[in-house]
Chain A
């Protein structure tokens, strides 16, 4: 029955009195906002689905991209880390709802304590997100892009991924990065990859064990070319790609990284604003603002927002990492 509003509660009167449908206007507006924000997120996820269906046979496999776990170097641990992040966010949702519950009982210190735990949980989630981004941007194996825009990755005879530094040949000669103080003031380029195209091609020719793996998926696996086909294919190399940016990424289709950055970034921004709002409300609780009002509905409203952020993550988890 929402928050009951006493007729002698001046604050509620200033807000326009008891709202419709047994909820106050403030809570109604929070629900309005949540519905519209849900549509924004579904727009993002549906656009991701569109691109994925469009390139269904060339899309990167999420299992192979997100394989890192803190302190486990070189161990392929797909999914565990995101599962942990999901759990952290769900848990911070629980502490939030406990804060709301304590608010209903007008227990100030309990509300403050649970709000504090929620803020900590949000902070841990943001940190995990940053770590995930760092790994994604840095990349692990490296790849090359062809003139036609496909990404070619390298594997050995058993299908195990081979990193560029394991076979690329270092050739004499240097290529300097173009910065603003070197050429025209308006021309510059992003940092150069570790190896040049020629070094990768020469190294590839010198290592007969290395094969090329294309983006194409047949029976849940990326297609690996034979050595002859690989040698033919490597000639079309145009760029050496290490890690990910908005322009190209070593995992596969360009749109994959774009969607990763935009969807998890937009969600991360929501978590960040959630943490900031939670901190403000936390201080209000400590200062006794709601104690004076005899009404902790403000905690309930930010709680709604915080749960919504959790709700969105549940969907991002499914559609970006699982499906």
Chain B
């Protein structure tokens, strides 16, 4: 089976010689990202506690780093990089759209119920 693997990550910044080498490279990348998350999670630096667009900066960092990890797992471990553009878009955009919609609705509603408890007349309903 002839296989053409795309062997560059970070938009061509790092080029690997073989697929095996790329796999180890991605492992190193994922390990670094996870370590950064853990260190930040334990230290919780004061500077990052501030709010940005309604969420703590630290939480923004965690979520962005998670998406970075998800990208590399899907693209390099699940070989999304080597699939056709159409398959990639079908899988990724379907999931991204539906998940964003679901998360928006539920979090919005959860925050609303919290304000009802806080400022309304109901102490606890259910």
Interface residues of chain A, those whose CB is within 8 Å of chain B, are 1-4, 21-23, 28, 31, 34-35, 38-39, 42-43, 46-47, 49-57, 63, 78-80, 83, 86-87, 90-91, 93-94, 96-98, 100-101, 104, 106, 148-149, 220, 295, 300, 303-304, 307-308, 310-311, 314-315, 317-318, 321-323
> Using Cβ atoms and an 8 Å threshold, which residues of chain A touch B48?
none
Other than A300-B79, A322-B37, give 15 A-B pairs with Cβ distance below 8 A: A4-B1, A31-B87, A50-B107, A50-B109, A50-B110, A78-B42, A79-B41, A83-B34, A94-B23, A94-B26, A96-B77, A307-B78, A311-B78, A314-B66, A322-B62
Instruction: State whether B111 touches A53 (Cβ < 8 A).
Output: yes
Also in contact, A53 and B23, with CB within 8 A (given A4-B2, A93-B73, A310-B73): no
Nearest Cβ in chain B — how far from A107, in angstroms? Answer: 12
> For the complex, is B119 an interface residue (Cβ under 8 Å from A)?
no
Q: Is B30 an interface residue (CB 8 A)?
A: yes
State whether the Cβ of B86 lies closer than 8 Å to any Cβ in chain A.
Answer: yes
Given contacts A54-B113, A104-B1, contact A21 B62 (CB under 8 A): no
Query: Quick one: closest A residue to B59, CB to CB?
Result: A323
Q: Are B94 and A42 in contact (CB under 8 A)?
A: no
B77 near A310 with CB under 8 A, answer yes
CB distance from A192 to the nearest CB of B (A): 28
Which residue numbers of B lie inside 8 Å of A, CB to CB? 1-4, 19-20, 23-24, 26-27, 30-31, 34-35, 37-38, 41-42, 49, 59, 62-63, 65-66, 69-70, 73-74, 76-79, 82-84, 86-87, 90-91, 94-95, 98-99, 102-103, 106-107, 109-111, 113-114, 117-118, 124
Choice from A46, A78, A303 contacting B107 with Cβ under 8 Å: A46
Q: Is the CB of A322 within 8 A of B41?
A: yes
- Tell me the interface secondary structure of chain B in the complex: helix
Contact of A79 among B38, B82, B84 (CB under 8 A): B38
Going nearest first, the 9 A-B pairs with the smallest beta carbon separation are: A53-B110, A50-B110, A50-B106, A21-B87, A318-B66, A83-B38, A46-B106, A54-B110, A42-B99
In the complex, what residues of A have CB within 8 A of residue B78's CB? 303-304, 307-308, 311
Give the distance to chain B from A23, nearest Cβ to Cβ, in Å.
6
List the A side residues contacting B82 at CB < 8 Å: 1-2
User: Can you give 10 A-B contacts (C-beta < 8 A)?
Assistant: A50-B106, A54-B114, A78-B42, A97-B23, A97-B76, A98-B23, A314-B66, A318-B62, A322-B41, A323-B63
Nearest chain-B residue to A48 (Cβ)? B106
**Contact of A35 (CB < 8 Å), options: B30, B37, B86, B91:** B91
Complex interface: chain B residues within 8 A of A38 (CB)? 95, 99
> In the docked arrangement, what's the CA distance between A104 and B34, Å?
29
- Shortest distance in angstroms between A204's beta carbon and chain B's nearest beta carbon? 25
Contact pick for B70, options A22, A56, A311, CB 8 Å: A311
Q: How far is the CB of B125 from chain A (nearest CB, A)?
A: 10
Query: With a CB–CB cut-off of 8 A, which chain B residues contact A53?
Result: 107, 110-111, 113-114
CA distance A6 to B73 in the complex (A): 29
Indicate if the CB atoms of A318 and B99 lie closer than 8 Å.
Answer: no
**A220 CB contacts on chain B under 8 angstroms:** 49
